[in-house]
């Protein structure tokens, strides 16, 4: 807290402890003002935070035993308060636990964890103030969705950290943790899309998920949304628009990485990326406008919240494509740069864009631009084929016109560029 450096350490900590107590105390005062005889509010919490700070400060500089003894006293005070409140028919523990927490925050500040205490205060205040929203959210969750969340938590917090950070395959091409991240990301896109569909509605949920997912990988969005269209055929049109919308984000990502690593290449790619971006957005607008608002959300089945099997299959496909890239470069060498771009674009458009932008000098900008465009064509073709195979038949007409128009425009531009 550099802006408070003009104060002594004790006064600075005292001021921060008071602020922390006021923040939580204000929330408690506001949310319990309608209750008769509420036990703690705007004055109690700052006083308790100050007490925690002062006791911890004395414990550090004079008597170590003060802090644990006083903490036991605060715990006893909270227990008595709960006993009194329960006698009046109030059985919640929220305010009592908040008293213990705010006392601990004051002690944290005394021990020098000022930013950590402030961050924890914001989190606690958010949890306290979102009482009604959290209760509403829990009421909406089904047992199936709860089990999906538990599986996702096990996958992310337990299994992923256990994977070794070790490579395998030819040239140490594949990394175990990277594969784990691919499975987690694909699963999270599907899970987030499911929740967005449920709480934001069909059209808004799909488009929101498409934009966010497209910032990372439009290929994953196409993979997940195509599978979703088989489970929910009524959503074929908005899902098709979502797939195209995530692809439009890909063109902006390409421009961003080109500008970041090679501004000259970015100027070369501005026209083709701009044309493809406008064309794709036009297709998205047309499909959504022609499709109308659709039916009510309650009438639409949401499908599987967590498709781990599909994520594992995507990871296996990633391994196969990575091997293809490795052997194409190994057999063809530098002369196989176009073939490498064609193959690499299937798996990861960002990787081929960054690597091409890094080596492209001024005299090779035209070749580099053709390589990046070829990788974009390859990526679009793969998404087109994958969605046709995995998607519902009602999805195919939209993607045929959408991806077909994009491919026709991109290939025409590439042919004009190389001739």
Which residues are CB-contacts of 291 (< 8 A; sequence separation ≥ 6)?
A: 237, 238, 241
Which pLDDT belongs to residue 306? Answer: 74
Which pLDDT belongs to residue 297? Answer: 35
236: helix, strand or coil: helix
Whether residue 372 is predicted with pLDDT greater than 50 in this model: the reply is yes
Which pLDDT belongs to residue 294? Answer: 43
Distance CA 150, CA 145 (A): 9
Distance CA 184, CA 162 (A): 13
Whole-structure pTM over 0.75, yes or no? no
For CA atoms 58, 60, 64, 69, the dihedral sign is: positive
Mean pLDDT calculated for residue range 367-385: 86
pLDDT digits (tens, 9 = 90+) for 60-80: 888 778 888 888 877 787 777
Mean pLDDT calculated for residue range 154-181: 79
Which pLDDT belongs to residue 312? Answer: 80
Which pLDDT belongs to residue 301? Answer: 47
For CA atoms 172, 175, 179, 181, the dihedral sign is: negative
Which pLDDT belongs to residue 277? Answer: 92
Closest CA to 244 of 288, 205, 274: 288
Higher pLDDT, 178 or 377: 377
Whether residue 85 is predicted with pLDDT greater than 70 in this model: the reply is no
Whether residue 45 is predicted with pLDDT greater than 50 in this model: the reply is yes
Whether residue 298 is predicted with pLDDT greater than 70 in this model: the reply is no
Give 174's strand partners.
168
């Amino acid at each position: 807290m550099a802006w408070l450096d003009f104060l002594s350490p004790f006064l600075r900590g005292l001021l921060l402890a008071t602020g922390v107590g006021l923040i939580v105390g204000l929330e408690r005062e506001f949310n319990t003002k309608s209750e008769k005889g509420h036990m703690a509010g705007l004055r109690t919490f700052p006083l308790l935070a100050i007490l925690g700070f002062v006791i911890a400060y004395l414990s550090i500089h004079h008597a170590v035993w003060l802090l644990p003894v006083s903490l036991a006293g605060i715990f006893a005070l909270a227990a008595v308060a709960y006993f009194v409140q329960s006698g009046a028919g109030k059985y919640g523990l929220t305010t009592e636990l908040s008293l213990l927490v705010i006392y601990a925050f004051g002690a944290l500040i005394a021990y020098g964890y000022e930013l950590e205490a402030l961050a924890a205060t914001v989190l606690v205040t958010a949890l306290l103030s979102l009482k009604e929203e959290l209760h509403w959210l829990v009421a909406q969750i089904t047992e199936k969705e709860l089990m999906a969340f538990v599986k996702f938590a096990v996958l992310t917090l337990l299994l992923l950290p256990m994977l070794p950070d070790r490579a395998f395959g030819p040239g140490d091409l594949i990394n175990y943790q990277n594969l784990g991240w691919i499975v987690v990301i694909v699963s999270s896109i599907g899970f987030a899309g499911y929740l967005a569909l449920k709480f934001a509605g069909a059209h808004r949920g799909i488009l929101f998920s498409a934009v966010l997912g497209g910032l990372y990988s439009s290929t994953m969005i196409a993979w997940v949304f195509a599978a979703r269209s088989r489970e929910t055929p009524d959503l074929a049109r908005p899902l098709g628009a979502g797939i195209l919308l995530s692809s439009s984000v890909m063109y902006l990502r390409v421009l961003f990485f080109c500008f970041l690593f090679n501004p000259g290449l970015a100027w070369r790619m501005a026209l083709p990326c701009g044309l493809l971006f406008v064309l794709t957005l036009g297709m998205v607008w047309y499909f959504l406008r022609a499709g109308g608002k659709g039916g009510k959300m309650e009438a639409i089945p949401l499908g599987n919240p967590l498709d781990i099997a599909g994520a594992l299959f995507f990871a296996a496909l990633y391994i196969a494509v990575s091997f293809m890239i490795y052997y194409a470069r190994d057999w063809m060498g530098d002369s196989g740069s176009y073939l490498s771009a064609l193959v690499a674009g299937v798996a990861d458009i960002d990787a081929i864009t960054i690597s091409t932008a890094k080596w492209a000098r001024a005299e090779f900008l035209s070749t580099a631009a053709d390589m990046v465009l070829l990788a974009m064509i390859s990526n679009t073709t793969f998404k087109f084929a994958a969605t046709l195979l995995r998607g519902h038949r009602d999805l195919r007409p939209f993607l045929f016109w959408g991806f077909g128009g994009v491919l026709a425009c991109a290939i025409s531009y590439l042919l004009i560029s190389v001739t």
